[in-house]
Chains A and B, each alone.
Chain A
């Protein structure tokens, strides 16, 4: 990842997907997810085609399957919920493997599982081909409220600073013989958290002062004005458009 600081999600590369402007990619992923969600759940084959489409994108972006699958693990808690559905849902039931399951529950579980997995996979692809900072620029260009973009970018900038401060406070506590061992010590931890909050609040004020001193008037200047050309939009649109074709087939067949 070179000298630069990249987020763990990002995978450095020079593929055509990496090179696309971030706002094109965000729009493409958003449309793709909408299309996937609006596909009828009975069209099982359509979801297979969606997965093939994503695999093709991953191939072009040279993201190894293992990397992608590992990132997909984030979905596990939701999967657990989906797996419960066949057992708790109402309606006609079928038995398989000696268990009685609800038919509508099974469809519901499949629906969540398939659409969720595709959505997460698309987002993971976006995150591994787009730097965090670029994502923010993309959102800004897509007219996301500037205040939200600024808040997110400050989170990136000051996350480490505050973690560092937290670490120093912990070391200071340890150095004075304190170790959190149970509920009775929670008071000390709470006080530390409070102190950290106040310090961060004060830092916020100082940062604002520094910003105002350099001409900040409420909006961040857009530094690199790399608008997207028609060709780039077309390339980004390949994914949602092919997905749309699959979706329409799913409704008509």
Chain B
């Protein structure tokens, strides 16, 4: 597989994310990653595909330094992930976890969105402006004073996106963004993600969603990047798909779709 992405920005742009030779074994000895190499340019939207147990979550937890690399390195916009600048790394890498109930832990939406920037030292009017801006970008500005558990699942997912947008991240990492959403919420979230001018790395099993949103995809399988290329090409490569336990939904033909640009 080619490693050149079709939508790669010009070489002068610094890449948002640079992962090289990343290997990791859990304390119980189970090795999850065997030398992952991945580069994501600024403003790109990349889907991270892979079967269950491929190491996707493990990789994601390395991006903001929750797990420490056994070997290799991760760099976010030129800053190496490590103990020294953890706070800055965590501001730059916004992870949206799968279950919004885990992500939204404050009593109201406003406080939750404010949590990240406030932890970074923002106060007063500036903080308020940041919260409003983030909520407006996901269309949830009218819900600032609601407690999270009174929102619908789709709304909670959008607020979860706002909580990391409020930190003005360099890269947005989404773990299964479309899971448990009804089709309308799915589309609304897609519209929001497309409207953001931010680098996106999307971990997903939802292949049509990846095709809709991400011009480029990488396949993580067995702890290594097994493929990297245009999403449509990857999805059309039946042999590759079979080899990595990736399956399209019944009746879906990636060739029949015109990919939005």
Q: Are B95 and A213 in contact (CB under 8 A)?
A: yes
Query: Would you call the interface of chain A mostly helix, strand, loop, or mixed?
Result: helix
CB distance from B194 to the nearest CB of A (A): 24
With an 8 Å Cβ cutoff, the count of chain B residues facing the other chain is 36
CB distance from B104 to the nearest CB of A (A): 8
Q: Are A207 and B102 in contact (CB under 8 A)?
A: yes
Q: Are B105 and A223 in contact (CB under 8 A)?
A: no
Q: Does B123 sit within 8 A of A, measured CB to CB? A: yes
B124-170 residues with Cβ-Cβ distance < 8 A to A are 124, 127, 145-150, 163-164, 167
By size class, the interface of chain A is 20 to 34
Contact of B127 among A206, A220, A223 (CB under 8 A): A223
Residues of A within 8 A of B105 (CB): 154, 157-158, 207, 210-211
Q: Are A5 and B150 in contact (CB under 8 A)?
A: yes
Contact of B107 among A133, A203, A214, A216 (CB under 8 A): A133
Query: Which 9 residue pairs spanning A and B have beta carbons closest together?
Result: A221-B118, A215-B119, A214-B116, A206-B102, A5-B147, A210-B103, A133-B107, A213-B95, A215-B90
List, sorted by A's number, 29 A–B pairs whose CB atoms are closer than 8 Å: A3-B145, A4-B145, A5-B146, A5-B150, A133-B107, A153-B106, A156-B107, A157-B107, A157-B149, A160-B149, A161-B101, A209-B102, A210-B95, A210-B97, A210-B103, A213-B64, A213-B66, A213-B90, A214-B164, A214-B167, A215-B90, A215-B91, A215-B120, A217-B119, A220-B115, A221-B119, A222-B118, A223-B111, A225-B124
B contact residues vs A (CB 8 Å cutoff): 61, 64, 66, 87, 90-91, 93, 95, 97, 99, 101-103, 105-108, 111, 114-116, 118-120, 123-124, 127, 145-150, 163-164, 167
